[in-house]
Copies of this chain bind each other. A is one copy, B any other.
Amino acid sequence: MSNNILNHQIRLAARPVGFPKDSDWLHTEEPVRELNEGEILVKTLFISIDPAMRGWMNGGKSYIRPVEINEVMRAGGVGIVIASKSDQFQVGQHLSGSLGVQEYWIGMANDKYAGFYPIDPQVAPLPSYLNALGMPGMTAYFGLLEVGQPKAGETVVVSGAAGAVGQTVGQVAKQHGCRVVGIAGGQEKCDFVVNELGFDACIDYKGGSVKDGLKQHCPNGVDIYFDNVGGDILDTVLTRINMKARIIICGAISQYNNTTAIKGPSNYLSLLVNRAKMEGIVVFDYVKRYPEAVQQMSEWMKAGQFHTREDIIQGLDKFPEALMMLFEGKNFGKLILQINPSQG
């Protein structure tokens, strides 16, 4: 059946210097081949646009191998199985995994790199599986709880507060009885995290001084800072941390497109003064515990105590543009690309 289907793909053409540009991408198409024994054919429905993608485009050693030149760009996604020669997945079943920036994925159902697991659209809408119930949500959940170890009454600050990870960090922290202060770009995003997600306050870094905002909204200092942005905001928060504070290093979107060296936190000696720690988190370390987080957050969702927001862009070809939206802070909510609208 499958060799009538054309698979459109976006591949990495060159390693970007600074912001990715059009010539760093290659748009290709190829017919979908026949299935072999044990394989499945997946139709991509949604893919996740993540800050981490920028790192995957660089060469060199990191927590995951780089995307090779001419390889289909790596992307987490959700899709539906449309052909199967495997016992593991049946036609019509939904799954999540590393589908790549392409319309179809073909290969062994148990492919380790793809890491497919079944998802249930009855439990939550499909885009949720790329947001709170997907990688960003797992990152937020385990980063906050395992590295941050929040205690009721503590003050938690999270940057990128309206983004995929930030939304979940703040809401999980509220569920644990913390005071939660977001940092986001623009009044609209700030209003959203306060009014719709229930944060206690939000600092608009584009509209005023983060330092003043922290003074105002964190009168008892900062016990946990969940950092998604790095740069000046990290440095400013370091001046307001409490004794034994925990800083969770999840990302540094302000620095990913630098053509010069990354700006290290000049105020890192605040860690010494305050006997505080700064610790990195990579979500893959918690893969065996994803089900407990999914169960907990979907319960909160059903109870109306947990909300998410996605910013969904239409069409595979919009991928390069969507990625730039992320670096420019133009998305509002978890950024997702819908690949085959007719099948959503």
Binding site for B on A (CB under 8 A): 61-63, 230, 235, 249-252, 255, 261-282, 285
Which residue of chain B has its CB nearest to the CB of A270?
Answer: B280
The A contact surface, by secondary structure, is loop
* Cβ contact within 8 Å between B269 and A249: yes
Once the chains bind, are B285 and A280 in contact (CB under 8 Å)?
A: no
- Shortest distance from the beta carbon of A68 to any chain B beta carbon, whole Å: 19
**Measured between alpha carbons, how far is A268 from B277 in the docked complex, in Å?**
12
Contacts of A273 in B (CB 8 A): 61-63, 280, 282
Q: Which of B265, B271, B282 contacts A280 (CB 8 A)?
A: B271
Note all chain B residues with C-beta closer than 8 A to A281: 272, 275
Pair B275/A266 contact, Cβ less than 8 Å: no
Contact, CB under 8 Å: B263 / A265: no
Task: Find chain B residues with CB under 8 A from A249 CB.
Answer: 268-269, 271-272
Please, how many angstroms separate the alpha-carbon atoms of A278 and B263 in the complex? 17
Q: A249, A270, A276: which has the most chain B beta carbons within 10 Å?
A: A249
CB atoms of B272 and A266 under 8 A apart: no
B272 and A261 contact, CB distance less than 8 A = no
**A10 CB, nearest partner CB in chain B, Å:** 25
In the complex, the answer to whether A268 meets B272 with C-beta atoms within 8 Å is no
- Is A268 a contact partner of B271 (Cβ separation < 8 A)? no
Number of copies: 2
Nearest CB in chain B to that of A255: its residue: B269
Give the residues in chain B near A280, CB-CB below 8 Å. 269-277
Per the bound structure, the CA–CA distance linking A246 and B93 in Å amounts to 43
CB distance from A221 to the nearest CB of B (A): 12
Query: Roughly how many angstroms separate A146 CA and B280 CA in the complex, as a whole number?
Result: 19
Among all A-B residue pairs, the 5 with the closest Cβ atoms = A264-B264, A272-B280, A277-B279, A271-B280, A264-B266
Please give the distance in Å from A233's CB to the nearest CB on chain B. 13
Q: Shortest Cβ distance from A232 into chain B, in angstroms? A: 11
Closest-CB distance, A287 to chain B (whole angstroms): 13
| Cα–Cα, bound, A235→B261 (Å) | 11
Closest Cβ of chain B: how far from A270's Cβ, in Å? 8
Residue pair A63, B272 in contact (C-beta under 8 Å): yes
Residue of B nearest to A274 (CB): B280
Q: How far is the CB of A83 from chain B (nearest CB, A)?
A: 37
Which B residues are CB-close (under 8 A) to A279? 271, 275-278
Among A250, A264, A272, A273, the most chain B Cβ lie within 10 Å of the Cβ of: A272
Q: How far is the CA of A275 from the CA of B63 in the complex (A)?
A: 9
| The residue from B250, B251, B262, B285 contacting A266, defined by CB atoms under 8 A apart | B262
Interface contact A262-B267, CB-CB below 8 Å: yes
* 10 A-B pairs whose Cβ atoms sit less than 8 Å apart in the complex: A262-B266, A262-B269, A263-B266, A264-B268, A268-B268, A273-B282, A275-B279, A275-B282, A276-B280, A277-B280
Given A252-B269, A268-B278, 10 further pairs, Cβ under 8 A:
A249-B271, A261-B266, A262-B269, A264-B267, A265-B265, A271-B280, A273-B282, A275-B279, A275-B285, A277-B279
Report which residue of A277, A281, A282, A285 has the largest number of chain B beta carbons within 10 angstroms of its beta carbon.
A277
